[in-house]
Each structure stands twice: as C-alpha cells, then as structure tokens.
Amino acid sequence: MTRLHDTIAHLKTNGTTMCHFIYDLPALHKHVQAITASLPANCDMYYAMKANSETSILAALSEDVTGFEVASQGEIAKGLAHKSAQHIIFGGPGKTDEELAYAVDQGIQRIHVESIYELQRLNALLATRQQQMNVLLRVNLAGPFPNATLHMAGRPTQFGISEEQIDSAIALALELPYIQLEGFHFHSISNNLDAQLHVEMMRLYFQKAKTWAHQHGFTLHHLNLGGGIGVNYADLTQQFDWQTFVDGFHQVIDDEAMHEVSLNFECGRYLVAHIGYYVTEVLDIKRVHQAYYAILKGGTQQFRLPVSWQHNHPFEIYPVSHNPYAFERISVAQKPVTFVGQLCTPKDVLAKDITVPSLTTGDVIIFNYAGAYGWSISHHDFLSHPHPTFFYLTE
C-alpha cells in the first residue's frame, strides 16, 4: 500500500486530476506464482481473460500461467500477442462461424463446446478443412449448488449442455469424424468463498466425468474444472482459503485416481482482483433530502462492478490537505455518505450509506480489489467523459 500511496502523492503533487486504475504487477506475480506452484503436477492454471484484458496485465500473467481462456475472437487475438496458439482455450456460449473458423485456423489448443448444435457446426466447419479439433463438452450439471454468488449451472442458464442431454452429446461427439473428444468442461458456480465446498465440487466433477467416459467407452484425457473461486468484497480480511482448497484437491485426486488425467483451472477474478485499485477524487459533497452524497470524478462508466453486483465496494479515504480555492472546502464527518459518479442516472453508485470518519472535497478515494471486472465490463463512453489513465507499479 505504501507504493500506491507514494504514487498518489506524486500524481497530486504534479496537479494530476485523480481518475486512475493502478495495478500492482509485483503483487500479481507473487500471488499467481504461489498459486501455480501449489498445484498438482497434472494441473495447469489458465487465466480467464474476461476478468481484465489490459495488455500489461496479460503480459505480466503470461510469465506465470500456462495459457489463456478466451471467449471471443478479439480475446483470441489478444492472447496470441502473448502466448502461442497451443496455450489458448476457447469457451463461452454463442460462438459464431467466423469465430470458430478463426480459432481453428489459428491452431488454438482446444474448444469448449456449449451445445449439440455448436458441436455439429464445428464439425461441418472442420470438414471443409479436413482437420480435427480437440474438444471438451461443457456440462451444465443438474445441481443444485448452494452458497455461491453466481450460479452457472444447476438451474436454467445459457451455459453448457444440460446434464440430461449429455449422453446424446457424447455419443454424437464420438461419431463425428472431425471431433476429438478429450473430456469435459465444468464451471458450475462463480465467486465461491467456501474452500471445502470447492473441494467437494472437484470430487463431483471427477465422478461424473469418469462415469460418462466408462459408459461411452472412451478415454478421459482432460478436464477443465472452471474457475469460480471468489473474492469477498464485504470483508477483505476473510478471503477464500486457497491452502485448505489445494490440500483437499490433492487428496481428491488421490481418492479418485485422477493422476493420469490432465486437469486445468481457468481463474480470472481470483488472480487479479486484489492487485488493482480504482483511484478517484471527491468533486463535491452535498446533502439532499437529509442524505449525504459524495460526487466522484468518474463513476460506474469506468468501474461498473459495484452496481453490477449490487454491493458496496470497499474503499479507503486518502486525505488531501491542499485547497486550490480561495473559499473553504466542504466536509462531512461521522455521517453515512453515498459515493456516486458523474453520470445522469441514480444507479451510478459505488458505495451506499457508508459512515465516514471524515471526508472533504478534494480527498482521494481508493477503491480496493478493483483489478477484475472493473474497466473491462464498464460502459466506457456513456456521457462521453474522459477515460481514466492506467498506471502499473513495477517495483
């Protein structure tokens, strides 16, 4: 945090208006290297690019992960700038013919098929090239799966092949001449904070995959175990217990005799959330109908995560003593304050009714854990405000 504060102080000294994303690259390397070093020998970590696809982030991560998990042609192209095609895996619903053709022609490692129709379309495309492609079938398990913020399976969603249809999908994949079925892709829950629950999910995935491979008489070569490991934005001191999970994961591999099957995770949020900060300044403080509002430079068009997830995003206040005006600044103390942006919508909220010890116009607000699904999911040009600047701490 000292490096972050030093950077902010430097920017303020130089008169820079505060509206930045700041990323701590050494912290990123340390975190990801520790994770990958703890994985079993037959398990690789891929980075889910959707969490944050800034070039400097991808360049840094390319040193520490096996490859990238992508969900569009644009993401494939971004990945290819940092990794060879054989280190890129392509998932996500609604792949177009153009995207599938691009993936095949670039020679990417594997495609995760989301439906029987997509499987048929891919085989037809491959037939025109007389070429085979390694494929995983993404399965939407029946569930239910409790205790997670988002559910990708176990209920009606657009993701994967319904478990009740998986036997038909497997049979078809084994018949189609240009499809090389390697195994399955599971991603049933997202933002899970319960390490033991995640261990049990791995056991369920292994058992399901082995059963289907045995029933259909094919060799199970590979499983994609998804991501889904969460970040606790409500209490930054209580995060997912990686060590408990990885210890249990090693044991489940032993229990289920999965050492000969290639495994991979595709984590995004868990790898990059904590190394990013959205840093902005208080433009105004006002009281409206007995409620206090802090108007910030920027807002959800730059950092959409809080309103998307409907949570109060964690932050700290960096006090600024300098007053550039001849009149007094506005202050509030020991009152609940709602932090909003500059947009012409009441939904432009980053944190609501947070009691602050002291807050003054011109102070800097540092939103922590802003490295994932911040800028990458935001509606950047709504109202055509300037984009933030990006800084990368390197030492």
Q: Hunting for tokens 């990686």 — which residue is that?
A: 242
Assign 74 to helix, strand or coil: helix
The set of residues, in sequence order, having a beta carbon less than 8 Å from that of 51 and lying 6+ positions away, is 268, 269, 271, 272, 273, 371, 372, 373, 376
In the DSSP assignment, the letter for residue 104 is H
Phi, psi of 336 (to 5 degrees): -70, 130
C-alpha to C-alpha distance for 72 and 103, rounded to whole angstroms: 9
Catalytic residue among 19, 43, 267, 344: 344
The set of residues, in sequence order, having a beta carbon less than 8 Å from that of 317 and lying 6+ positions away, is 356, 357, 358, 359, 363, 364, 365, 366
Q: Is 344 a catalytic residue?
A: yes
C-alpha to C-alpha distance for 89 and 112, rounded to whole angstroms: 8
Residue 336, preceding peptide bond in cis (omega within 30° of 0): no
Phi, psi of 253 (to 5 degrees): -60, -40
Beta-bridge mates of residue 393:
24
Residues in the chain: 395
Q: What is the dihedral of CA 273, 276, 282, 286, to 10 degrees?
A: 0
In the DSSP assignment, the letter for residue 290 is T
Residues with catalytic function: 344
